Amino acid sequence: MDKQMLKSTVQGNAGETHQQAQGDTPNLTTTTGIVVADNQNQLSAGTRGPVLIEDHIYRDKLAHFDRERIPERVVHARGYGAHGYFEAYEDLSAVTMAAPFQAKGKKTPVFMRISTVAGSKGSADLARDVRGFSIKFYTDAGNWDIVGNNIPVFFIQDAMKFPDLVHSVKPEPDSEFPQAQSAHDNFWDFVSLTPEATHMLMWIMSDRTIPRSLRFIEGFGVHTFRLVNSKGEGKFVKFHFKPKAGLQSVVWNEAVKINGADPDFHRRDMWETLNKGDTIEWEMGMQIFDDAFAEQFDFDVLDPTKLIPEEQCPVKIVGRLVLDRPMENAFAEAELVAVCPQNIIPGIDFSNDPLLQGRTFSYHDTQLYRLGTPNFNQFEINAPKCPMHNLMQDGFAARAGHQPKGRVNYEPNSWGGPRENPKVGFHSYAEPLEGTKTRIRPESFADHYSQARQFFISQTETEQTHIINAFVFELSKVKRADIRERVISRLLHVDKDLAKTIATKLGMDKLPDPAPAAVKPKDLKASDALSILKNGPDSFKGRKLGVLVTDGTDAKVFNALKNAAEAAGASVAVIAPKIGGVNLSDGKHLPADEKVGGGPSVLFDAVAVLPAKAEADKLKDDSATKDFVADAFAHCKFIAYVADTMPIFEAVSIDKALDAACHEIKADGDAKAFIKECGKLRFWDREPKVSKV
């Protein structure tokens, strides 16, 4: 044996055991706590001999590595999370005994997970997709999970169809593509044969499915639930979460480019926001209504493809949801968290929504398979923070602190231990029921087009254009003409001009006949709450300004913009020709956050282009710089510039197209005015002039 190896082997950790080897640096150990002497080499018979099976350190390390991946979720595989709390604005004990709402100012710890739906865990953040919006409330009365989406309705009315929906949108089984995309034959074939999906199609073809940030999305419980008070009285409720920073999305061309530039764009944004000490907040609201309202409402409140317009039943703001702490380990938190719609507490109960009823089984069953044990609620991220006593025992991954104590593992018994408590325990709402066993969809679920039409007419002209373009893009990927025709035949019930425009852009010679409609659509009033642009922010707070600088950039102009942006609550990223940074006009060195090719303008809400004259003459021929400027202009962003920027503008042919959203910065006041204008986020008047679709 090599003498040095022999020396290393016999010395081991003599005299150190678990004492720190060097200062405050902790010792590396095995999973059983044994301190590791050599983490670089296997134990072998000689320096060139075979490795030895007795190397328990190697086997411990590799056995764990081989099992690092648990099965990913079938849907919502790509998720991200954060910790925080819910704070009640008032006492709601008159309508619900649910623990979070029993006193004004009461705080309940929460963990939130936001996810895409269709893509695998390794897919990109900005796929056109619904976003799961799930919250685990660690209440005094046990865990309560709201498992919702950023869209208030869904594709289907009955959980029986959920596997078919998901199979259709997932990669086609013969080719195993496309990944995280609905733009293929299987999906559009399914939804074109499923009229109840029409309303949801309008939402997913809107910009709701390409959000700028997870901080700027709305959340919905989707289903109708029950609130139950201490007297056993119940009312219906729909849950809403409205972002305090306002709604915001990107445009499709940006989404495509962001996925290439930074596929972790949403994750990074949430991580950076929380790590710099900012919070992410929503206001929680409820639409509360009684059975009499439900009976008189135009649609069935148990139909998950329908919503209740806020104009007909206002959203009562009841508290705020605050995320203030990032995850410490994404696997142990976002991946192991098991959110289940079946997790409710006293004061909350289910309605008879057939999709909700099916989900209460499906989610729990999924977690049992995915996490491999019925003990998943013993994992730290899932464990209740209130006292917990039960008689469930053993099984894979059982934690000692969650096992029965002593001899008692059954009930009733003669030895003591936990007992049922009718006074404070969970009681289901006493809803009278009668009926015959059946598999028939209720007639009250049959109007599939009225609310789809309402959604479309509630959008601004800009948003309607984006919806049309999204349909055209998606259907252009569909190979079978009859599928495209079926989609158009359903859109004719939504809006004839919408259907005709899409058909024309697809090159269809004539319109198909309208699809049969079980119920004639109604003309409903527009609802401003359904529009993103009508519910955007009024400031630049929480947004990001990308500033392109060079050697010799005017230090006063740069500092004025930086100070104005930060005063407004925005952040500034420095983009430079080289990652090493630049020297400003005052001689001070400015480090760069991104090299221009690695920090394209699609990553920012607004941009400033501040080159020195000599450097502008060089950059005008640089493709990455030209893309930076051209994309910002094409995506209708506010642009700050200096006189020396003009050669770059000329290189991308926008020098004569500069508009009211392009601000020349000469003084400190110009910078402040520019940042104030950036609060509008986009200059949509430019879009018709630059659109290629």
CB neighbour burial string for 54-70, b if at least 16 within 10 angstroms, e if fewer: eeebbebbeeeeeeeee
149 given a catalytic annotation: yes
Helix, strand, or coil here: 344? coil
State the helix-helix crossing angle for 252-261 and 623-634, rounded to 10 degrees. Answer: 150
Helix, strand, or coil here: 652? coil
Question: Which residue, 661, 663, 597, 664, is CA-closest to 635?
Answer: 661
Question: Which residue, 679, 638, 671, 673, is CA-closest to 555?
Answer: 671
- Spatial separation of the C-alpha atoms in residues 315 and 260, rounded to whole Å: 38
* Cβ atoms < 10 Å from Cβ of 570: 22
**Which one is catalytic: 149, 150, 186, 343?**
149
- Spatial separation of the C-alpha atoms in residues 532 and 684, rounded to whole Å: 13
**Which one is catalytic: 18, 41, 56, 76?**
76
Query: Tokens 């007795």 identify what position?
Result: 54
What letter does residue 544 receive in the DSSP assignment?
Answer: E
- Planar angle of CA 430, 435, 441, nearest 5 degrees: 105
Question: Which residue, 495, 422, 417, 487, is CA-closest to 453?
Answer: 495
CA distances from 88 to 29, 140, 145, 570 (A): 45, 14, 17, 28
Structure tokens at 287: 């639409």
- Spatial separation of the C-alpha atoms in residues 157 and 355, rounded to whole Å: 6
Is 648:550 a contact under the CB 8 Å cutoff? no
Question: Which residue, 494, 503, 610, is CA-closest to 546?
Answer: 610
CA 299 and chain centroid, separation: 29
**Cis bond leading into 432, ω under 30°?**
no
Question: Which residue, 163, 247, 314, is CA-closest to 460?
Answer: 247
For 204: left if phi > 0, alpha if psi spans -120 to 50, otherwise beta; the answer is alpha
CA distances from 323 to 82, 272, 320 (A): 6, 13, 10
φ and ψ of 48, to 5 deg: -120, 15
* Cβ atoms < 10 Å from Cβ of 223: 26
Structure tokens at 454: 């309402």
- Spatial separation of the C-alpha atoms in residues 222 and 305, rounded to whole Å: 9
377 given a catalytic annotation: no
Strand partners, 640: 608, 663
What letter does residue 333 receive in the DSSP assignment?
Answer: I
φ and ψ of 91, to 5 deg: -80, 120
What letter does residue 315 receive in the DSSP assignment?
Answer: P
Structure tokens at 126: 């900005």
Question: Which residue, 324, 267, 315, 318, is CA-closest to 104?
Answer: 318
Secondary structure tally for the chain: helices H, strands E = 20, 18
What letter does residue 334 receive in the DSSP assignment?
Answer: I
- Spatial separation of the C-alpha atoms in residues 196 and 587, rounded to whole Å: 65
Tell me which residues are annotated as active site: 76, 149
